[in-house]
Structure 1
């Protein structure tokens, strides 16, 4: 039986560029099909641009799973989680990566380039990619998140003071 690997869309800002390139090479060597959403060099670049490219592809169902990398991972996480159907998880170790898939069905892995070396990033990504969603009680919780998402997205007011 042939193992099917998920399609990946990967993006980084300037702080995550070197780690993105190293991780991408390791994942291609493992047989993954990767779409690189940028950046293409280490020149200063704004993380929201690359988070939006990856999150949009995941949100629309065209990008498979996503990986985002910036200096801290926080900006990418905040931006990506603005998109419908995106569950981006900042993972600083393999256990967090495992749980983000097992319990939360995370579809975007976010890495912190200033806190994560190449070897650890490959380990974190490998665990994240290999871990299935457990379902069960976690499915019920995921449905609650989806209901919140639908409610928030259908609210016409953009002013939190009006609620």
Structure 2
């Protein structure tokens, strides 16, 4: 019996971004398809936008999230000007755990501890080299369901299931 850890299977990644995130989204998408990330990425689904014409960031948060929820992608990356808009929009979708990350620690810790499945980046905030380091960190991380991580994630999932009811009585 082989006790060596098996390499993780390459991830299917959905990527999208609005006009403000378009240049960085294109750079990331090109790098995801390159040989340098072959050990992490098996397939890339480009959810648009396909050019710099003005468009709305929620559309791309939805498109990337749809690919994950349909089982066509394991992880998602969405890029807008600041990363904030796509993060807010993606987190409205049940089953999506998105976070804006502009450092490598948050990108891998968000996956390892919180089972984050969507990385949000600000195309006007960070450059392409740092963005690619963050993407590598995000895609290379795996959820580690220790008791405390799972307990906390279960609470988050319960909040999601309850919606506003999780707030309790708000009449006072």
Shared fold per TM-score greater than 0.5: yes
Aligned to 1:55, which of 45, 62, 65? 65
| SS of residue in 2 equivalent to 1:39 | coil
Aligned to 1:81, which of 87, 91, 97? 91
Please, what TM-score do these two structures have when normalized by structure 2?
0.85
Please name the residue that 2:3 is paired with: none
Contact persistence 2:12–2:73 (CA under 8 A): yes
Aligned to 1:124, which of 134, 150, 166? 134
Please, what TM-score do these two structures have when normalized by structure 1?
0.90
- 1:13-37 CA-to-partner distances (Å, cap 9, x unmatched) read 0011110111111111122210000
- 1:35-83 CA-to-partner distances (Å, cap 9, x unmatched) read 0000000111110111111112223433221000000001000100011
| SS of residue in 1 equivalent to 2:77 | strand
- How many residue pairs match? The answer is 158
Compare CA radii of gyration and give the structure with the larger one.
2
Q: How does 1:82-121 map to 2 (within 5 A)?
A: 82-121=92-131
Q: Tell me the distance in 2 between the aligned counterparts of 1:18 and 1:64.
A: 23
Gaps of 5+ in 2: 1-5
Q: Tell me the distance in 1 between the aligned counterparts of 2:76 and 2:129.
A: 19
Q: Tell me the distance in 2 between the aligned counterparts of 1:126 and 1:120.
A: 10
Please name the residue that 2:17 is paired with: 12
Contact persistence 2:99–2:119 (CA under 8 A): yes
Once the two structures are TM-superposed, the CA of residue 134 in structure 1 deviates from its matched residue by 1.7
Q: Tell me the distance in 1 between the aligned counterparts of 2:122 and 2:7.
A: 33
Gaps of 5+ in 1: none
CA RMSD of aligned residues (A): 2.0
Once the two structures are TM-superposed, the CA of residue 138 in structure 1 deviates from its matched residue by 0.6
Which stretches of structure 1, 4 residues or more, deviate above 6 A after TM superposition? 160-163
